Chains A and B, each alone.
Chain A
Amino acid sequence: MREPMREPAVAPTAIDDDRARRFEASLSRAGLGLVPRLGERVSDALLARLLRVLAERHPRAFEALREMQDACVLIEPVDAPVALMMRVGPELSLHARPRGAVGTGAAAADAVIRGPYARLLDLLEGRIDGDALFFRRELTISGDTALILALRNTLDGEDEMDLMADAASIAGPLARALPVLRRNAGPVLDRVEAARRLLPPPLRRGIERIGARIEARLTGTVPGTNPGAGA
């Protein structure tokens, strides 16, 4: 008989504050929104580099993805202007395209996964159970169910992925800044929230409107429309 439970180990730079995690997810969503604006060649090259980094850090999963039959899965955050087309099989690749762009829509994919960006990020990093999201209708899938299951199980079989850290590692200074940002994200957000509460209501609402406009510019969405609602 085993001893009573232990707390699972947490990586020293892992982010465990919910608010900080939400902030990080919205920051990365904005970053993803910028990728197609770099042009197809540059964005493809960036994502190819990200895939190489991920393959080095998670060789078991990426070997399994290459061993799958050639197929395309569209990963579509419903609250971002960009969808990711992942090709599995020997020609493993990842492309970011504006949603609805020719050749990257649902019709070009063998299977489609749709959901709010933050949920998809949690799912890819293994922080949340995909079946539970599906039961709650926060995630929708269509097309080849076996392909989606194989992709989900392969990625979930890795110990927790940290896509933010992996993405940051291909941009030198950001890789060094990320652990510092994560350590300080909670207290900084606390101070920002405290300061926000002290503002007079009209000023607070004005700042919120500006924030929404900036986020919309970064992500390409229309402010006030359906962020986070399941498709």
Chain B
Amino acid sequence: MDNFELICPAGTPAALRAAVDAGADAVYLGFRDETNARNFPGLNFTRQDVADAVDYAHARKVEVYVAINTYPQAGNLGPWQKAVDDAARLKVDAVILADPGLLAYAAKRHPDLRLHLSVQASAANVEAIRLYRDAFGVRRVVLPRVLTVPEIAKLNAEVDVETEVFVFGGLCPMAEGRCSLSSYATGLSPNKQGVCSPATHVRYEQRGGALASTLGGFTINVFGEGEQAGYPTLCKGRFVAGGAPAYLFEEPTSLNAMDLLPELKAAGVHALKIEGRQRGKAYIGAVVRAYREALDSFAAGRPVPHIDLQAMVEGGTQTTGAYTRAWR
């Protein structure tokens, strides 16, 4: 049986080496600017870093993908087009794009450059995926994290484009690329500036034994003493509704679909993606190593081992997310 491809994150050169050494088939990363959706302080790669990353990875038969997955701003296409040009010049194995205009530019200027469609494009139906394939030659689609496994299977049966799905890490429950919650609170957009809950607008306060997180001056959660904390994102905020505090969209939790490898294989999924370019190299090494072991066992027909990744997860809880969500 063909193994899944394991696609792993890297926010720094050290994290890239950790991912490669731990067993990644490909590592995805971004340039150090607003052209990618993890435009966080101190994170990401200079052009020289990418050149070095490509050398390191290719020497070990590992591919490098560059995410250029924010939407160019009107009248300022330059940084995004230059990012595509530089990625092609640096001989990366694929670029991960979301904006149709940028896809058109890449397809025309760099016909040999492999194009992947970012989760930020939120392509969740057959017609949309066919359009990206026919218009721009997209070879792989990263599916949004809102589909069930049966929906993914149905989709794969109808299109001949590779699909990649998230299996571990931070769980965005929204239609990605179209979410404006963080923009509303901060004036900065995950889709344009690459910053969901920008750190410049996040503050943490100790309130006795409790920890309060605020975004743009709005209190979005208060974690009680001993309660595990989560990221300061509005989609996982806890708000008072009907007189009681509750999570309205999603709880602080991490995706972990390791137990669904047989179902995802049967559904025709080609590649599995680990989230977390913003995480440290210790996380990346541990999670990639665990998934490598699980995938190799699965491919060899052995039972998938239970590997404890509890120490790494947001909010102290794990979920299979929309893949098995009963209410859908």
Contact = CB atoms under 8 A, between A and B. Distances in A.
Interface string A1-38: 11111101100000000000000000000000000000
Per DSSP, chain B at the interface is mixed
B282 A146 contact: no
B229 A152 contact: no
Interface in A78-136: 126-132, 134-136
Given A2-B60, A150-B42, A140 B204 contact: yes
B7 interface: no
Contact of A137 (B60, B211, B313): B211
A159 interface: yes
A147 B205 CA distance: 16
Contacts of B24: 2
A60 B206 CA distance: 34
B223 A137 contact: yes
B11 interface: yes
Nearest to A134: B229
A221 to B, nearest CB: 21
Given A2-B60, A136-B316, A145-B203, A153 B14 contact: no
Contacts of B153: none
A141 B296 contact: no
Contact of B5 (A1, A131, A145, A159): A1
A124 B15 CA distance: 15
Interface stretch (B65-73, B114-122, B273-281): B273-281
Contact of A4 (B23, B230, B281): B23
Given A149-B40, A156-B12, A126 B211 contact: no
B62 A2 contact: yes
B179 interface: no
A129 B279 contact: yes
A154 interface: yes
B109 interface: no
Contacts of A145: 199-200, 202-204
Given A128-B280, A137-B229, A140-B204, A1 B311 contact: no
B204 A156 contact: no
B130 interface: no
B22 A5 contact: yes
B315 interface: yes
B55 interface: no
Nearest to B13: A157
15 contacts: A5-B22, A5-B293, A9-B21, A129-B312, A131-B279, A132-B283, A132-B313, A136-B311, A145-B200, A145-B203, A149-B43, A153-B42, A154-B42, A156-B15, A157-B15
The 9 nearest A-B residue pairs measured at CB: A153-B42, A157-B12, A5-B23, A150-B41, A129-B283, A150-B42, A146-B199, A129-B280, A5-B292
Given A4-B296, A126-B280, 4 more contacts: A1-B3, A5-B23, A6-B21, A153-B12
